[in-house]
Every structure is written in C-alpha cells, then in structure tokens.
Amino acid sequence: MALSRRTILLSGAALGAAGAAAGLPVAAAASPGPLRRDPFTLGVASGDPDHDGFVLWTRLAPEPLAEDGLGGMPSRVVPVAWEVAADESFRHVVRRGVRLARPESAHSVHVELDGLLPGREYFYRFRAERWLSPVGRTRTAPAPWLMPSALAMGFVSCSQYEHGYFTAYRRLAETEPELILHLGDYQYEYAKDTYNVPGGNPRDHEGPETRTLANYRQRHAQYKTDTDLQAAHAVAPWVVVFDDHEVENNWADEVPEAPDPDFLARRAAAFQAYYENMPLRRTSIPRGIDMQLYRRVRWGRLATFHMLDTRQYRDDQACGDGYKSCADASDPARSITGAAQEAWLLDGFRRSEARWDLLGQQVFFAQRDNNSGPLTVTSMDAWDGYVASRDRITRGWVAAGVRNPVVLTGDVHAHWASDLKLDYADPTSRTVGSELVCSSITSTGDGADSPTGSHPWLAFNPHLRFQNNLRGYVRTTITPRDLTANFDVLPYVSRPDAPAYTRATFVIEDRVPGLNLTYDRPPAAARTAAPGVDQGRQTVEAETVRP
C-alpha cells in the first residue's frame, strides 16, 4: 500500500519495504563487515534542478556526531544504490544505479541526473547494504521554451542550531514548495557557550569552533540530524549558496575576521565539507581554497535565478567593518562580487528572456542608513560597503531592459522589503527593482513582533517598506502576471513546534517595479491565536492596505 506524501516527506520515516523486494539494486559490500546501524541518519536531499535532471544527495553516518567527522563509518568504500520513480510508491521506476561512497569524501553521495522529462515530479531513495533511506521528493524545471503558470518558491537563511528549534523548516515543508533557496549561514562555526541569546541557548553545538575538516564535517552532521531540516530537504529541490558562517564570521576572500595564519587551510576545509553536505553539481567540487558557486537556475521562461557568491571574491570590508560613514565604501575599484562574476551577471542580464530575473544572494542590497542626521552610516559588510559595485549592477539591469528584477537576500535575521533605486539620496527618484529579505530560521532567538512601519530607520530610508524581527521564511508565488511574497513568521523558536502565520504580503506586478502591500497582520491579531494552533493553516481574508 502506498504511503501518503505527507507521511513520506514529513515524518522522516523510511519506506517500509525491503530494498530488494522493492526492486532497488542490491550492491554487495566492498569488504567484509556489514553496516550494523542505520547509516541514513542525515536524511536525503536534491538540488540544482534543470529541465532534464537534478542532483540527488545523501551521506552515510551511523554515528553522525563522531569527533573525527567520519560519522562512525568504516574506512572502506560502500556501494550505495539509488533509484528515481515517477510515483511515491516506486511502482514506476524510471532510473536506478549504484554510486560508491568513499571515506575521503566522508561517505557522501552525489548523483547528477539528466535525460528526465521536464516539469515533472519525481521521488527518490537510496540503499546501503540492508539499510533503506527515507524517501525524498524532487522535480525537474519546465522546458526552456515553456511559460509555466506558476512557481511556488520559498527562501531561507541563517539557521543557528543553538539559538532555537528548526520548526520554520518544517512549516515551510508543510506548504509543499516546488523550489527552496538557501541564501547562506546554513551552519555556524562557534563552540558551545560562545554565541548566546538572552536567557541562554536552547541547544548546544558539539565539538570546538570549526577549524578543521573533521570539525566542519561533524558540525554539518549535527545540523543534518535535525528532523525539521530533513523534512525541508526531502520535500523539494534546493539551490544553495554560502555566506560567512559556513567558514567564519565576516570573512572576505582571503582575509579572515581576525588575523589567522591558518585561515586559507580553514577555508579549504570548510569548502570541502560544504560540498560534501550539499546537493551541488560536480562543477562546484572545491579545488583547494576555490569553489565555483555562482551559477544560474532557469525555470522555463518564467524565472531565472542568478545565484551569487558575495564572499569568495570581495574586497575586504572598508573602514574596518561595522556600521560606518566611510568614504572608501564608494571607491569605484571596490567590488563585492569580483570582476569575473560581475561580468557574468551583467551578461546574464543582457541575454535574459525570463519574465522574472531574481538574484539569490547573501547580504542587504538596498541602502540602509542607521543615522537620522546628515551622515550616512551603513554596514560595511553589506552592499553599502561596495556602493560602486551595487551601482554598476543596478544600472546594468536597467540598461539591459530586465523586465522584472528582484533581489532575494538573507543574513540580517529579520524580514525586510525594499524598493530599489538608482539614487537613494533622492527619495523621488524612480524605483528600478525590489528586494525581499528573509528573516532567520533561528539566529538571534525568538525576536519580537512590532507594528508595520514602526522601525525607526524607515523614517529616513523611505525606500525601506517593511521590517519584522520574528524568525521565519519567505514564501513566494511567481506567475507571469505578478510575484506574491508572503513573510511568514513564528512566535517563538526557543521551544519546538511553534505555529507559523503570514505577517505581511507584498505583490510585485509585471513591468511595475516596486512593492505593493496587500496584507498586514498587526501584532495584536497574532497574539490572539491559541498556543499550539498552526496559524499558518488558518484561512485569513486579506485586507487591502495602501502603501
């Protein structure tokens, strides 16, 4: 009897039938000594969908928190069988094969598939010896020449394991998106009792601050054991980019946050572990301290996602980092992307035939001044610290006639929404794009709600349209006519199983750059819901609010 999709994808349970009985290839062990415990403790994942394929991922780790980072696996090659089916009961298997999980890659498995049908849902699973993995759902992108009617896409960032429970991942999974973007800070580098929230951290990291390959492997494994994160990976393909904490806080190219003679070795170790633990294509296999991460994912003629890397090629933060009024931030020679990536992006704008061009990237794009006086005081770690770089890219999409440019951002641990300008000093200048910023999954703890428009910075940054300091994610529905962005939040993350609800909704209309607020749920309304009720599943009639 076929299990329901919700049972398969959200319970974390493996399929009940034995692999051989289900028709999965049975691969003999490479050497004596069977795996005595379930090696699929880290779940399964898929990513980087194309119109004819995607990447499948898993990693074997019967003891995921082992200090050596090897997950309790024997030092031998383990054959891992995989299969892809058109149905969740695996009656219609379309592809199957065997990959070798090797000790030197922490027994991770990447299966890069092509030749599948476009715009289709598929299910997948793995088998290692007698052990069967959970089942994942994924999909191919539509054919390049087709205009899909809609895409349900969610994006997330900043999941600090110690700061709370990953319930937001599960709530996003329950909405069954077709695509998930992770915009950085998938894991954090700190040792226990180093980065604390008020009242104390609900959970602790295992191991020291991550500096070696073993450290990073162990830390990724600890995050991957979280069943809420596993549910989000299993429900849809992911497209991932890293930010700073996958290595260390606020690093910039070859410059660490504080002097460190071993930083390049640390960066290489972090990149290796990142690849081993993410559903990335072979084009992203690290080569020492280098890793190709910027790339494009196309969703038919509806959307092109330009995924950026704003860490690996950037100049060091100006004026010593932090919030500063800094003349050097406007130096035309400074870049946050590096010259090659900038040229690649501008060329992508000129060649684009998509209805929507979305930049998936890490740090705040719009100007965000924190000073009400005559000085402009901004974050040197964001695009504000690289003003000329931002200006070249913004003018690049305007010159190319990009139909609907939208920047998607993480990093700042709060929801924000912004209109994008060519001249932020002139509030009357025309709007040329939009920025949507997702809050954190857990980073900085519970946070707090506040009335829309009450954040003090909005008064002297009129292009900033929305801010909210609860944890959560952004759900979007992209159609040929408009892009709808729902800013979903959780009232708490310091304990598990919080409900989720939509705090505000913005719509961007085709060929009309800028944000239209269509739904705003005031804090008092949010507090009336009974604890434990999944507010995100309630039907709330939207009210029109004039910007």
Percent of the chain scoring above 90 in pLDDT: 90
| Residue whose structure tokens are 């000329």 | 388
Alpha helices in 455-528 (DSSP H): 523-527
- Cβ–Cβ < 8 Å for 224, 277: yes
Joined together, the tokens standing for residue 222 give 């600890």
Residue 387: enclosing H or E segment and its boundaries? helix 387-399
The pLDDT value recorded for residue 32 is: 55
- Cβ–Cβ < 8 Å for 439, 485: no
* C-alpha to C-alpha distance for 8 and 340, rounded to whole angstroms: 43
Q: With a cut of 70, which residues of the chain have pLDDT below it?
A: 1-32, 524-547
| Residue whose structure tokens are 């194309």 | 50
- Cβ–Cβ < 8 Å for 466, 185: no
* C-alpha to C-alpha distance for 468 and 491, rounded to whole angstroms: 12
DSSP string over 82-96: EEEESSTT-SSEEEE
Give the CA angle between residues 445, 451, 454 to the nearest 5°.
Answer: 95
The pLDDT value recorded for residue 10 is: 59
Separation in Å, CA 129 to CA 24, 80, 536: 11, 8, 41
What does DSSP say about strands 415-421 and 405-409: parallel, antiparallel, or unpaired?
unpaired
Q: What is the DSSP letter of 14?
A: B
* C-alpha to C-alpha distance for 221 and 67, rounded to whole angstroms: 11
3-state secondary structure 251-277: CECCECCCCCCCHHHHHHHHHHHHHHC
User: What is the CB-side half-sphere exposure of residue 260 using CA atoms within 13 A?
Assistant: 17
User: What is the CB-side half-sphere exposure of residue 480 using CA atoms within 13 A?
Assistant: 7
Residue 55: enclosing H or E segment and its boundaries? strand 53-59
pLDDT digits (tens, 9 = 90+) for 9-34: 555 443 333 344 455 665 544 455 79
- Cβ–Cβ < 8 Å for 277, 108: yes
- Cβ–Cβ < 8 Å for 241, 307: yes
- Cβ–Cβ < 8 Å for 432, 513: yes
pLDDT digits (tens, 9 = 90+) for 219-269: 999 999 999 999 999 999 999 999 999 999 999 999 999 999 999 999 999
* C-alpha to C-alpha distance for 517 and 289, rounded to whole angstroms: 43
- Cβ–Cβ < 8 Å for 204, 143: no
The pLDDT value recorded for residue 18 is: 37
Q: Which amino acid is at 470?
A: L
Joined together, the tokens standing for residue 204 give 């602790």
Separation in Å, CA 116 to CA 80, 140, 179, 272: 21, 8, 17, 29
* C-alpha to C-alpha distance for 457 and 349, rounded to whole angstroms: 31
Q: 3-state class of 107 per DSSP? A: coil
- Cβ–Cβ < 8 Å for 194, 162: no
The pLDDT value recorded for residue 33 is: 76
Per-residue buried b or exposed e for 452-479, using 16+ beta carbons within 10 Å of the residue's own CB: beebeebeebebbbbbbbbbbbbbbebb
Residue 12 — φ and ψ, nearest 5°? Answer: 80, 5
Give the CA angle between residues 493, 495, 498 to the nearest 5°.
Answer: 60
* C-alpha to C-alpha distance for 453 and 470, rounded to whole angstroms: 15
